[in-house]
Chain A
């Protein structure tokens, strides 16, 4: 097939309209979310004292941080799905959750505490946190990667890494409602480590799956 013939063929297919990447990503996440939700409710569930916990601002802060991470990562993912895009001008969005967390740590420092700092940091559920967040995020990560395959990222590994943050953010939002460790120090340590792990998995998978 010479190039003129190929061009003619492409023009014949020009009526085909692909869906925007954002739409594809939304569909894929909606398909993947029930899997993670099912895993969460069969294995973990919401903590029983949730009604009391909601009055604790540090419990609520966990959701602000994880949702900020998920939303920022969705925005960055969609931006990076265009081949000419770079992180410039968008990367700072990912600093929002880190800023919230830093503010939370500062706030907690200023309050009188019953427990020493290291005890709050280590918490009671660090191992559960490091297991549950990555596992809950795997179905979401798979969905995110399938959705983002509709895009054309110039740097597939980077796009995959952001997809990893996106899924870790959503998975951590679920996990936060189960976990009884509310100290921002715990979140900054164990949630961050879990997110880093999922980000690395996303980068690895993205470098294979998001090439176009």
Chain B
């Protein structure tokens, strides 16, 4: 587990210094751990575990938008688990229950644990529809149609800079909407 967390720290350092491939790998690597913890938290609170994917996406958005609060000289896992625990508590509270989430929920996950099938997530997709048209089109193009920033710019007749701005604003307002719902 030590090794896995050192690898995350290394990937996040590369990501912060501009390596988007390392960032992609890191997010892929942490997702199963977050998913298992979300399922465990939901199960313990007596909630249906099929909502775990909404929580996972909520955590990933927060990790993305708050990554500047990670200290590059510190290990990544404690920071990640603090964000995740915060989001999990929020999600459970929103579902009407006050729950204590144990930090061990995250640390306990063994590397060999069977991957859970990806459940459907509805909240992000639903909020996507309420974004301003520009932001929604850009997010649709990049997320759903897997277009690059360059292709999206060409398709929507925008500059690449404008696509980048709309993408970031879209992610920020998605997160704000998820928080307020």
Q: Which of A2, A6, A19, A152 has the most CB of B within 10 A?
A: A6
B-side interface size class: 35 or more
Closest to B23 in A: A14
- Contact indicator B90/A13 (Cβ below 8 Å): no
Q: Residues on B close to A: CB < 8 A?
A: 15, 18, 20-21, 23-24, 27-28, 31, 53, 56-57, 60-62, 64-71, 74, 78-79, 81-83, 85-86, 90, 118, 120-121, 124-125, 128, 139, 142-144, 146, 148-149, 164, 167-168, 171, 179
For the complex, give the distance between the alpha carbons of A20 and B71 in Å: 10
Q: Which residues of B contact A8 (CB under 8 A)?
A: 24, 142-143, 146
Q: Which residues of B contact A81 (CB under 8 A)?
A: 69
- Contact indicator A152/B64 (Cβ below 8 Å): no
- Contact indicator A83/B86 (Cβ below 8 Å): yes
Taking CB atoms and an 8 Å cut-off, the chain A residues in 15-33 that contact chain B are 15-21
Q: Within the complex, what minimum Cβ distance (angstroms) separates A15 from chain B? A: 7
A113 within 8 Å of B (CB atoms): no
Q: Which residues of B contact A17 (CB under 8 A)?
A: 68
- Contact indicator A1/B143 (Cβ below 8 Å): yes
Q: List 5 A-B contacts (CB under 8 A).
A: A5-B146, A6-B57, A14-B20, A19-B68, A82-B79
Closest to A151 in B: B69
For the complex, give the distance between the alpha carbons of A210 and B5 in Å: 28
- Contact indicator B20/A12 (Cβ below 8 Å): yes
- Contact indicator A12/B142 (Cβ below 8 Å): yes
A-side interface size class: 20 to 34
Q: Which of B24, B56, B74, B128 has the most CB of A within 10 A?
A: B24
A42 within 8 Å of B (CB atoms): no
- Contact indicator A11/B68 (Cβ below 8 Å): no
Q: Which residues of A contact B28 (CB under 8 A)?
A: 7
Other-chain contact of A10, B27, B68, B82 (Cβ < 8 Å): B27
Closest to B147 in A: A12
- Contact indicator A15/B69 (Cβ below 8 Å): no
Q: Residues on A close to B: CB < 8 A?
A: 1-21, 81-84, 150-152, 154, 211-212
Closest to A21 in B: B69
Q: Which residues of B contact A83 (CB under 8 A)?
A: 66, 69, 79, 82-83, 86
Q: Within the complex, what minimum Cβ distance (angstroms) separates A69 from chain B? A: 24
Q: Which residues of A contact B23 (CB under 8 A)?
A: 10-11, 14
Closest to B34 in A: A3
- Contact indicator A12/B167 (Cβ below 8 Å): yes
Q: Which residues of B contact A151 (CB under 8 A)?
A: 66, 69
- Contact indicator A9/B27 (Cβ below 8 Å): no
For the complex, give the distance between the alpha carbons of A106 and B23 in Å: 57
- Contact indicator A9/B57 (Cβ below 8 Å): no
Q: Within the complex, what minimum Cβ distance (angstroms) separates A163 from chain B? A: 16
Q: Which residues of B contact A12 (CB under 8 A)?
A: 20, 142, 148-149, 167
